[in-house]
Amino acid sequence: MKKILVSTASLLAISALPALPALAQEAAAPSRDGGYGLGREALPEEVAAWDIDIRPDGAGLPVGSGNVWDGEGLFIDYCSACHGDFGEAVGRWPVLAGGFGTMESEDPVKTVGSYWPYLSTVWDYVHRAMPYGSAQSLTDDEVYALTAYLMYVNDLVDDDFELSNENFLEVPLPNEDAFFMDDRAETEYALFSAEPCMSDCAESIEVTSTASVLNVTPEGEGGATEATAEVEVEEEATVVEEAAPEDTGPDPELVAMGEGLFRQCSSCHQIGDGATNRTGPALVNIYGHPAGMQDGFRYSPAFTEAVEGGLEWTDETLAQFLANPRDFIPGNRMGFRGLRDDEEIAAMIAYIRAEGGE
137: buried, middle or exposed (CB in 10 Å: 19+, 13-18, 0-12)? exposed
Assess contact for 67 and 73: CB atoms under 8 A.
Answer: no
State which of 178, 193, 220 marks the end of a domain.
178
Query: Does 346 reside within a domain?
Result: yes
Distance CA 342, CA 358 (A): 21
- pLDDT at position 223: 46
Domain region containing 252: 247-356
- pLDDT at position 231: 45
Query: Does 125 reside within a domain?
Result: yes
Looking at residue 162, the DSSP 8-state letter turns out to be E
DSSP states along 273-341: TT---SSS--BSS-TTSBSS--TT----HHHHHHHHTT-B--HHHHHHHHH-HHHHSTT-S--------
Query: Does 166 reside within a domain?
Result: yes
Q: Do residues 169 and 269 both lie within one domain?
A: no
298: buried, middle or exposed (CB in 10 Å: 19+, 13-18, 0-12)? exposed
Orientation of helix 140-153 relative to helix 119-129, angle to 10°: 130
State which of 147, 178, 209 marks the end of a domain.
178
Query: Does 113 reside within a domain?
Result: yes
Distance CA 87, CA 264 (A): 8
- Consecutive 10-residue averages of pLDDT for the chain (358 residues): 43 43 47 71 90 93 96 94 90 91 88 95 96 94 98 93 97 93 90 86 81 56 47 48 58 85 79 82 86 83 85 90 84 73 88 80
Q: Do residues 174 and 253 both lie within one domain?
A: no
- Give the CATH number for residue 350: 1.10.760.10
State which of 123, 158, 178 marks the end of a domain.
178
Q: Do residues 168 and 255 both lie within one domain?
A: no
Query: Does 212 reside within a domain?
Result: no
Q: Do residues 174 and 252 both lie within one domain?
A: no
Q: Do residues 253 and 335 both lie within one domain?
A: yes
Query: Does 303 reside within a domain?
Result: yes
Query: Does 98 reside within a domain?
Result: yes
Q: How many domains, the chain? A: 2
Query: Does 332 reside within a domain?
Result: yes
- pLDDT at position 34: 65
Q: What is the pTM of this model?
A: 0.53
- pLDDT at position 146: 98
Q: Do residues 75 and 172 both lie within one domain?
A: yes
Cβ atoms within 10 A of the Cβ of 232, count? 11
